[in-house]
Amino acid sequence: MIEITLSDLGAMLLECVGAPEEGMAFEGEQALDTPFIEFGYDSLALLQVTSVINRTYGVVLDDDAVSEAETPRQLLQLIASVPAGRSGPLTGTAPAASTASAGFAGKRVLVTGATRGIGRATALAFARAGARLVAGCRTEGDAAKRLRTELDETGAEFTIVAADVTTSEGAAVLAGGAREWFGDGDRDARGVLDVLVNNVGVDGHVPFDRLTEAEWHRVIGHNTTSAYLVTHALLDVLADGASVVNVGASVALRGRPAGVHYSASKAAVIGFSRALAKDLGPRGIRVNTVAPGVTETDPEEGLPPQLVARLTALTALGRLGRPEDVAGAVLYLAGDSAAYVTGTTIEVDGGI
Ligand SMILES: NC(=O)c1ccc[n+]([C@@H]2O[C@H](COP(=O)([O-])OP(=O)(O)OC[C@H]3O[C@@H](n4cnc5c(N)ncnc54)[C@H](OP(=O)(O)O)[C@@H]3O)[C@@H](O)[C@H]2O)c1
């Protein structure tokens, strides 16, 4: 038997369809017998949610019966009456993380936001593939210390530069660090960077009616403006024929509830890449976007299990992404295999 509570159902509807009518709450005895239509959910919304339940729990709920459920109680009873097809939620297995790949020996690579999550996996993948690295972060804290130890173990040459890349001053500090490191101490070095990965970004969850101007600017500043500031500061540091990879997000192409600012900031990254590819094409510089889906950067402190199950069920591969999955796409776009690929977006989302 599948155990789904009223609040689980409410959370799934919120995730799949959007918020209920204002003032309506998916909790308490009264909500159990309140018609779905009063919450603003029609039978199409119920079918969307039940397809997630089907895939999560390996069951097949009858569409006609689902459409006839008028209240949450009726739908929960219907769900409880169907034997579970598997004992737990759908979870696919990821192949073992690749520990090494060739092809970047001696290449000069800068990754922003390299101390955690996707940036850390990307920096380590480049290091293992033989690249020389500048790893960016905001502050030289514990995460930077850990990265230093991990990069030391790869034997790669690297330096870590701390600077807030949401400001032009911070972007200039990072660009100066790259110039000096790759130019062997020459503060005026030009054309010494082969790969730039603009990975810095922050998440944001706020319903649109509560979205403040400050929160809008925080998210746009980190996710869009930082890519502009860093790339602009590095324009003459980039070698002709270099590759720029910007980290976007797959929700930019779909939208998500309570994420107007986040989705807009990441959609802007796609436009930024497409247009910059045209400006820099004459120098042979390619510019692309990698758009990850939900990626578990820290499974220990990650999303609540119910949410993981729901998001997992939306993927074709039956698992959430890992930072290494995204790093793989970044390395592909940065390398010679992608020599004729520019202005494009690769979604790394398990087939949502
Ligand atoms: N994780 C996901 O599910 C997911 C899904 C889609 C897209 N993405 C995108 O993937 C990218 C990486 O996400 P993540 O989850 O791996 O990030 P994360 O774990 O939160 O790591 C963020 C990194 O960015 C650095 N950073 C943050 N603000 C900065 C600033 N103002 N200046 C300089 N560095 C700054 C952090 O440095 P400190 O350690 O010094 O703070 C850290 O290294 C982001 O663009 C994100 O939007 C992530």
**In contact, 122 and 99? CB cutoff 8 Å:** no
Q: Which two tokens stand for residue 272?
A: 């930024």
Query: Measured in angstroms, how far is the CA atom of residue 199 from the centroid of ligand 1?
Result: 7
Pocket test for ligand 1, best of 110, 112, 122, 137 (most atoms within 8 A of CB): 137
Picking from 338, 337, 348, the residue whose alpha carbon sits closest to that of residue 287 is: 338
Please give the pLDDT value at position 114. Answer: 98
Helix (H, G, I), strand (E, B) or coil at 238: strand
If we measure between CA atoms, which residue out of 107, 148, 110, 111 comes closest to residue 131?
107
Residue 18, sorted as left (phi over 0), alpha (psi -120 to 50) or beta, turns out to be: left
Secondary element (H or E) of residue 233: helix 226-233
138 lines ligand 1 (CB under 6 A): yes
Q: Kindly list the distances between the CA atom of residue 261 and the CA atoms of 213, 281, 307, in Å, as whole numbers in the listed order.
A: 10, 30, 21
Distance from Cα 234 to the centre of ligand 1, integer Å: 20
Q: What is the pLDDT of residues 252-290, one digit of tens each?
A: 999 999 999 999 999 999 999 999 999 999 999 999 999
CA of 292 to the centre of ligand 1 (A): 12
Name the most confidently modeled range: 3-7, 9-13, 49-53, 203-207.
Answer: 203-207
Instruction: Work out the average pLDDT over 7-31.
Output: 82
- String of DSSP letters for 95-130: PPPP----S-TT-EEEESSTTSHHHHHHHHHHHHTT
Domain covering 6-80 assigned CATH 1.10.3080.10 in the classification:
no
Ligand 1 and 263: CB distance under 6 A: no
Residue 8: pLDDT band by 50, 70, 90 thresholds? confident
Domain ranges in the chain with CATH number 1.10.1200.10: 6-80
Atom of ligand 1 nearest to the CA of 118: 16
pLDDT in tens, 309-349: 999 999 999 999 999 999 999 999 999 999 999 999 999 99
CA distance 165 to 163: 6
- Select 108-348's CATH number: 3.40.190.10, 3.30.9.10, 3.40.50.720, 3.90.1150.10: 3.40.50.720
Closest residue by CA, ligand 1 atom 21: 116
Whether residue 205 is predicted with pLDDT greater than 90 in this model: the reply is yes
Is 294 near ligand 1, meaning CB less than 6 Å away? yes
Please determine, for residue 90, whether its predicted confidence score (pLDDT) is greater than 60: no
Determine whether 262 is an active site residue.
yes
Gyration radius from the chain CA atoms: 23
Domain with CATH 3.40.50.720 in the chain: 108-348
- Closest atom of ligand 1 to 164 CA is 32
- Helices of type H across the chain: 6-16, 28-32, 36-39, 43-57, 63-68, 72-80, 117-128, 142-154, 168-182, 213-220, 226-233, 260-280, 305-314, 323-334
Average pLDDT over residues 117-140: 98
Structure-block tokens of residue 141: 């804290």
Say what the pLDDT of residue 99 is: 41
Q: Whose CA is nearest to atom 22 of ligand 1?
A: 113
pLDDT for the residue 6: 86
113 lines ligand 1 (CB under 6 A): yes
The kind and range of the H/E element at 251 are none
Give the residue, out of 112, 199, 345, with the most ligand 1 atoms within 8 A of its beta carbon, to mutate for a pocket test: 199
At residue 94, the pLDDT reads: 67
Q: Report the C-alpha gap between 288 and 273 in whole angstroms.
A: 6
CA-nearest residue for atom 1, ligand 1, is: 295
Which position has the higher pLDDT, 351 or 86?
351
DSSP 301: G
Residue 67 to residue 51: CA distance in whole angstroms: 12
Q: Mean pLDDT in the chain? A: 91
Closest atom, ligand 1, to C-alpha of 323: 16
Please report which confidence band the pLDDT of residue 301 belongs to, taking 50, 70 and 90 as the band edges: confident
What distance in Å separates the CA atoms of residue 117 and residue 297, rounded to the nearest whole number? 5
User: What is the rounded distance in angstroms from the CA atom of residue 7 to the CA atom of residue 130?
Assistant: 50
Q: Is the CB of 164 under 6 A from ligand 1?
A: yes
CA distance 78 to 80: 5
- In the block, residue with structure tokens 């939306």: 314
**Catalytic residue, candidates 41, 57, 228, 262:** 262
Q: Is 118 in the pocket of ligand 1 (CB under 6 A)?
A: yes
Cβ-based burial of 101 (10 A; exposed 0-12, middle 13-18, buried ≥19):
middle
* Better-scored residue on pLDDT, 116 or 48: 116
**Beta strand extents in 184-297 (DSSP E only):** 193-198, 238-247, 286-292
pLDDT of residue 87 exceeding 80 = no
Q: Most confidently modeled of 22-26, 46-50, 85-89, 144-148?
A: 144-148
